[in-house]
Amino acid sequence: MKRVFFIPFAFVVSMASAQTLRIGLAEDPDILDPSMARTFVGRIVFAGLCDKLFDLDEKLNIVPQLATSYQWSPDNKSLTIKLRGGVTFHDGEKMDAQAVKYNLERHKNMKGSNRRGELAVVSSVDAVDASTVRINLAAPFAPLLAVLTDRSGMMVSPKAAEAASDKFGAKPVCSGPFRFVERIAQDRIVLERFPNYWDKGQIHFERIVYQPIVDATVRLANLRSGQLDFIERMAPSDVPQLRNDGRFKIAKIVEIGYQGITINVGKSDVAQKNPLGKDPRVREALELSLDRDAIVKVAMEGEAQPGNQWVAPSNRFYGKGAPIPRRNVERAKQLLKEAGVPNPSFTLMTPTTSDAQRIAQIVQAMAKEAGFDVKIQSTEFATSLNLADKGQFEAYVLAWSGRADPDGNLHTMLACKGPTNYAGYCKEDVEALINESRTSLDAARRAAAYDKIAQAVQKDRPIIYLYHRNWLWAHNAKLTGLRTVPDGMVRVQGLRMN
């Protein structure tokens, strides 16, 4: 009897999977409005829903999506973009220069927009003709193209946005390959194929269902039982068991973000009360007590690339003048002796995620060998952010999901007035170099500036960068056409179930 009951169920599942791509997400996305959205996981859903002016390829090159080409003005203070013709939004409205102008102004001016900061340098937008738009800047801004490969480059239907106002995120209307059907909070987001998509030849599913499943073990169990076709961010510890299972494939790529320890060097008076915040020699000793390879091996089961800067060593903007220092406990002890604190003590604030907890414990054990007494303070994430913002911490295990341009990983944390400069770091020469790196469009000049910044930051150590995680995806072996792009987004174009 049992078989009779369950066979039709299995049949329904396999029928549905022929047309539907079911993706398991690690969290429930926030608002589905590109202007207001703020989570990494939300961007994964946007990849199916909203096209952008530009996109990234596997090598982090900027490639056109809704744009076809671009041209900088001679003074680098305006960017002219040619738009793809014949593109429509999901409600049938035209995606033209007026729509782009509307969207960029909305990102910049809408109350509650989280895009305001990255578009701060945009002074005005002109619709030159139906398919040409010009973005005028207050000053040259090299990261602009990279910014337009993310939510700031996503275009929504002006008509729908006007009608829905700040409720737009409840029923978003974009121009991506799939259109919004329904969302049940904490359960699923359903998209269906948009028949008028400009690149419809690349779309091979009728529907996509995104299901947030927070627990990595349960997410994997859903993949293995056939309920899901694809899961993002699988746990590194699950890699070995899945590797030997021919029904599934694992895809991975080094992220554009980083994991590190932010040290309070000037955010509040706490910095001067502790030798770690006060004396660069103590910070150097802490870094020299750490073995990044071992941290990656133990905390991430080898699924990360050790690093010591805001971009991974494989990135073209990695500063080669500041290589990863090797562990040297003797030198660390000597430095502590010179600083007059052979056994410094500090509190390491750590979010309650298992990754962060593991890092803290390993750092505690390694630093102890050099004489440090590290006290771990496990703190719920939102609380830890608040404490960091007020400068009520000594050291903080903090990850950054990363941006395509190195500026997005650097300016906000280490520029004097960066909104997430929790370290309270502010150095005139570094500030000047950061400004140079973001105003020059010459890649070689930018690389040279980053090299100098890396060397300066390595001396001051407001952040001890540890590693860059692998984005780990697992999927049904029959799923082909997956592109592994370091931003961790799941691009649905080209995906096919064979």
Partner 1 sequence: MLKFLLRRLATIVPTLFFVSILIFGLQQLLPGDPAIALAGEERDPETIRYLREKFHLDEPLPVRYWYWLSGVLHGDLGESVRIQKPVSELILEKLPVTIQLATMAMIIALAIGITAGVISAVKKDTWWDYGANVFALWGLSTPNFWLGILFILLFAVQLGWLPASGYVSPFEDLKANLSAMIMPAFVLGNAIAAVLMRHTRSAMLQVLSSDYVRTARAKGLDERVVVLKHALRNALIPIITLGALEFGTLLSGAVLTEQVFTIPGFGKLIVDAVFNRDYLVVQGVVLFTATVYITLNLLADLAYFVVNPRMRVQ
Q: Which residues bind partner 1 (CB under 8 A)?
A: 2, 5-6, 8-10, 12-13, 28, 30-31, 33, 37-39, 111-114, 116-118, 166-167, 169-170, 183-188, 211-215, 217-218, 221-222, 224-227, 380-383, 385-387, 389, 400-401, 412, 419-420
Based on CB atoms, which residue is closest to partner 1, 59 or 111? 111
Least Å distance, CB 58 to partner 1, is 24
How many other C-beta atoms lie within 10 A of the C-beta of residue 139? 12
Closest C-alpha to 483, from 497, 494, 472: 494
Based on CB atoms, which residue is closest to partner 1, 51 or 118? 118
Least Å distance, CB 124 to partner 1, is 19
Based on CB atoms, which residue is closest to partner 1, 211 or 439? 211
Question: In degrees, to the nearest 5, what angle opens at C-alpha 129 toward C-alphas 128 and 133?
Answer: 50
Least Å distance, CB 170 to partner 1, is 5
Based on CB atoms, which residue is closest to partner 1, 124 or 227? 227
Hey, what's the torsion of the CAs at 113, 114, 118, 122, to 10 degrees? 0
Based on CB atoms, which residue is closest to partner 1, 85 or 112? 112
Based on CB atoms, which residue is closest to partner 1, 285 or 414? 414
Least Å distance, CB 34 to partner 1, is 12
Based on CB atoms, which residue is closest to partner 1, 319 or 402? 402
Least Å distance, CB 166 to partner 1, is 7
Least Å distance, CB 218 to partner 1, is 6
End-to-end CA distance of the chain: 33
Cα distance between residue 303 and residue 291, in whole Å: 16
C-alpha distances (whole Å) from 102 to each of 32, 43, 93, 160 are 18, 21, 13, 12
Sign of the CA dihedral running 357, 363, 368, 374: negative
Least Å distance, CB 64 to partner 1, is 25
Least Å distance, CB 467 to partner 1, is 19
Residue type, 334: Q
The answer to whether residues 118 and 154 touch, using CB atoms and an 8 Å cutoff, is no
The answer to whether residues 15 and 210 touch, using CB atoms and an 8 Å cutoff, is no
Based on CB atoms, which residue is closest to partner 1, 18 or 185? 185
Least Å distance, CB 111 to partner 1, is 5
Based on CB atoms, which residue is closest to partner 1, 126 or 166? 166
Question: In degrees, to the nearest 5, what angle opens at C-alpha 483 toward C-alphas 482 and 489?
Answer: 100
Cα distance between residue 423 and residue 385, in whole Å: 12
Least Å distance, CB 165 to partner 1, is 10
Least Å distance, CB 466 to partner 1, is 19
Based on CB atoms, which residue is closest to partner 1, 181 or 294? 181
Least Å distance, CB 213 to partner 1, is 5
Q: b/e map of 22-50 (b: 16 or more CB within 10 Å)?
A: bbbbbbbbebbbbbbbeebbbbbbbbbbb
Based on CB atoms, which residue is closest to partner 1, 39 or 202? 39
Based on CB atoms, which residue is closest to partner 1, 24 or 371? 24
